[in-house]
Amino acid sequence: MAKQPGAESGRRLLAILFCFSERSPVRSVSELAEQTGLPSSSVYRYVSLLRDEGVLDAAGAASYRLTDRVLGLARACQAGQVPLIEVSRSHIEQLAQEVDETVLIVRRGGNFVYCVDRVESSHPVRLQFSVGQAMPLHLGSAARVLLAHLPRAERDRYLAGLPAEERRRQAATLSDQALDAIVRDGWTESFEEVDEGIWGTAAVIVSDGKPVAAVGTAGPMYRLVEERRRQIVDLIRDRADKISADLTGRY
């Protein structure tokens, strides 16, 4: 995807912020430099700016954590998703019981998809996709459902911006024919696109005819034989239709 000129500093600042997560709430300068690929001197400069603005605070020797100031952003994000989460929650709870695999609701944000709600499987081997986690728009069934439903020009721009090797590797799933089929059918499935040995499926959620999210599930292929996968696809598609019907007029 084409990058706007003059925005590199902003992208670097955001890259540092996105290094913090529920699993990594405290990060050292060396960790931030390694994850972002920035020189330590640059990381120190951006960290100082974020500290001046009250977004980061010290958490030990050369280590930092997010402050409560970011909670306002989290609340704003949640407020914007309230209709989707409120409407879909009971549906995905029931769906998780039916499929006995982790069920997710994902939304698109720019060139990524984000998990906004999830219900866990009872199995010890579960889908590792936490709330708030970002995933590329072209990998996995839930992401690809939303990619397929982008306006054609926007979809083409995203695909053109992928590395050539990535486009070749995913040619079968990212072709116009494959993506148009997702739009026609409203769902898709994936085989080991994100994690080895994992199968997934997802269906689009619409409100007033507009694609707004996807509901999906995934699990190890060793316990999801073909017949069971077909059953899960039917359940996912049916539940996506029900969420869409309940969401229409509220989004």
Residue 147, C-beta contacts closer than 8 angstroms, at least 6 positions apart = 108, 137, 138, 155, 158, 179
Domain count for the chain: 2
> Could you tell me what percent of the chain has a pLDDT over 90?
54
Whole-angstrom distance, CA of residue 67 vs CA of residue 44: 17
Last residue of a domain, one of 50, 66, 82: 66
Q: Are residues 112 and 225 in the same domain?
A: yes
Nearest to 88 by CA among 115, 121, 126: 115
Q: Are residues 89 and 37 in the same domain?
A: no
Q: How far is CA 188 from CA 69, 126, 230, 243, in A?
A: 39, 20, 12, 17
Q: Is a pLDDT exceeding 50 seen at residue 138?
A: yes
Nearest to 70 by CA among 18, 105, 125: 18
Tell me which amino acid residue 203 is.
Answer: A
Tokens representing residue 74 in the block: 């989290």
Q: Is a pLDDT exceeding 50 seen at residue 2?
A: no
Query: Inter-axis angle of helices 226-247 and 71-99, to 10 degrees?
Result: 130
Q: Are residues 110 and 210 in the same domain?
A: yes
Instruction: Give the pLDDT score at 75.
Output: 62
Asked whether 174 and 159 are in contact (CB, 8 A), the reply is yes
- Does residue 183 belong to any structural domain of this protein? yes
Q: Which domain holds residue 91?
A: 73-247
Q: Are residues 159 and 194 in the same domain?
A: yes
Tokens 């708030």, residue located: 132
Instruction: Give the pLDDT score at 1.
Output: 46
CATH number, domain of 187, equals 3.30.450.40
Last residue of a domain, one of 66, 81, 96: 66
Q: Are residues 33 and 94 in the same domain?
A: no
Instruction: Give the pLDDT score at 122.
Output: 76
Last residue of a domain, one of 36, 66, 96: 66
- Does residue 2 belong to any structural domain of this protein? no
Burial of 178 (0-12, 13-18, 19+ CB in 10 A): middle
Q: Name the band, by pLDDT with cuts 50, 70 and 90, for residue 59.
A: confident
Q: Are residues 62 and 96 in the same domain?
A: no
The predicted model gives 70-89 an average pLDDT of 74
- Does residue 25 belong to any structural domain of this protein? yes
The predicted model gives 17-40 an average pLDDT of 90
The predicted model gives 31-54 an average pLDDT of 92
